[in-house]
Amino acid sequence: MDLEFQILHSNLTNPTLLFFLLGVLAVRLKSDLEIPAQSIKFISLYLLFAIGFKGGQELAHSTINAEVIYSAIFGLFIASIIPFYTFFILKKKLNVSDAAAVAAAYGSVSAVTFVAAVSFLEMQKISFGGHMVAIMALMESPAIIIGVILLMKFEKSPFGERSISFKQLLHHSFTNGSVLLILGSLVIGFIADTKQAEGIKPFTTDIFKGFLVIFLLEMGMVTAKRFGAFLKYGWFVSLFTIVIPAINGCAVAWGSQFITHDIGNRFIFAILASSASYIAVPAAMRLAAPKSDPGLYVPMALGVTFPFNITIGIPLYYFIISITS
């Protein structure tokens, strides 16, 4: 219980989350606090760039062996299959734009939940492979791509009534601004000279959290203004935010034994599979799916799934891994 409380306290006192709550409070107090739309668009682009570039750098510095390759494939598979199957569940109750955005959020990963998992492993004195940081970054974009593909496939408005070929669908998905930026940044980070990359480190790393808190401040205001969308779907959305992450986390906690025997790596996989993005995906979906409602998928990921994972999910997944090792 003490361990769970320490993890919960550490994450809930994180400045980025506190600024999210400040945004919610600002709306509830009917403050005139407002962040210009163009500034938020720039910050969204910046976050995608920084996440992709840092992921590419981590991947470049990882020692590539068979386990790393299998782990990367496994991570990409998880990040692709989760948004695909959840989209069709969500589409039963949500419109296409919202279903695609929520599916992308739950297929992608939460960096803050990842940090909570690392803290748990450190307390347990269990190590994990450095390549898992790169795999976390690799798992950001597939879910966004799948979300955009599904959006374009089932949403009529981007192309009117006419049908498009799968080749056209892939082209539009990969050339979507948010997808192209995060994938391009990942590739550039991977091939960039290390010494040259150090020159932009202050921009890609040092100021990242500063921009992140402004982004989450705005997300807090958006969430508070549109929270009715979250409540409107009642039990379905509430159940989804707990049941789906639990299923994903437990399934991967068990299945990861066939990829690696390292307890720390298996635990990280389970956390990544069960978490939901409230940074990269909202930043991408604000650009790729403007019709989707952040007041739906941000509260789902940040308000319900995140606390569920750090209080119940972490010990649950660790228990499954322990008995299957």
Give backbone dihedrals phi and psi of 96, rounded to 5 degrees, phi first. -60, -45
For residue 2, is it within any domain? no
Structural domain boundaries, residue 313: 36-323
For residue 28, is it within any domain? no
For residue 143, is it within any domain? yes
Question: Whole-angstrom Cα distance, residue 137 to residue 117?
Answer: 15
Q: Write the CA distances from 8 to 18, 105, 116, 118, 220, integer angstroms.
A: 13, 22, 9, 13, 20
For residue 11, is it within any domain? no
Question: Closest by alpha carbon to 256, among 175, 155, 325?
Answer: 325
What are the residue ranges in the chain where pLDDT is below 50? 158-162
| Cα 27 off chain centre by | 25
Residue 230: predicted pLDDT: 67
Q: Which residue has the tokens 């990409």?
A: 76
Give backbone dihedrals phi and psi of 306, rounded to 5 degrees, phi first. -60, -55
Question: Whole-angstrom Cα distance, residue 242 to residue 308?
Answer: 7
For residue 209, is it within any domain? yes
Residue 169: predicted pLDDT: 57
For residue 6, is it within any domain? no
Output DSSP code: residue 63: P
Residue 10: predicted pLDDT: 63
Residue 266: predicted pLDDT: 96
Q: Write the CA distances from 26 to 19, 172, 224, integer angstroms.
A: 10, 38, 9
Question: Whole-angstrom Cα distance, residue 290 to residue 224?
Answer: 18
Q: Where are the alpha helices (DSSP H) in the chain?
A: 2-12, 15-28, 37-60, 66-90, 96-107, 111-123, 131-138, 140-154, 166-174, 177-191, 194-198, 201, 208-225, 227-232, 234-255, 263-274, 280-288, 294-298, 306-308, 314-323
Kindly state the tokens that stand for 166.
């799968």
Residue 171: predicted pLDDT: 66
- The tens digit of pLDDT for each residue in 249-278 reads 999 999 999 999 999 999 999 999 999 987
Is 206:269 a contact under the CB 8 Å cutoff?
no
Is 293:237 a contact under the CB 8 Å cutoff?
no
- The full length of the chain comes to 325
For residue 13, is it within any domain? no
pTM for this one? 0.74
Burial of 191 (0-12, 13-18, 19+ CB in 10 A): exposed
For residue 297, is it within any domain? yes
Residue 128 sits in a domain whose CATH number is: 1.20.1530.20
Residue 160: predicted pLDDT: 47
| Cα 15 off chain centre by | 18
Give backbone dihedrals phi and psi of 291, rounded to 5 degrees, phi first. -80, -20
Contacts of 200 (CB under 8 A, 6+ apart): none
Amino acid at site 258: F
Kindly state the tokens that stand for 232.
């409107």
The number of folded domains in the chain is 1
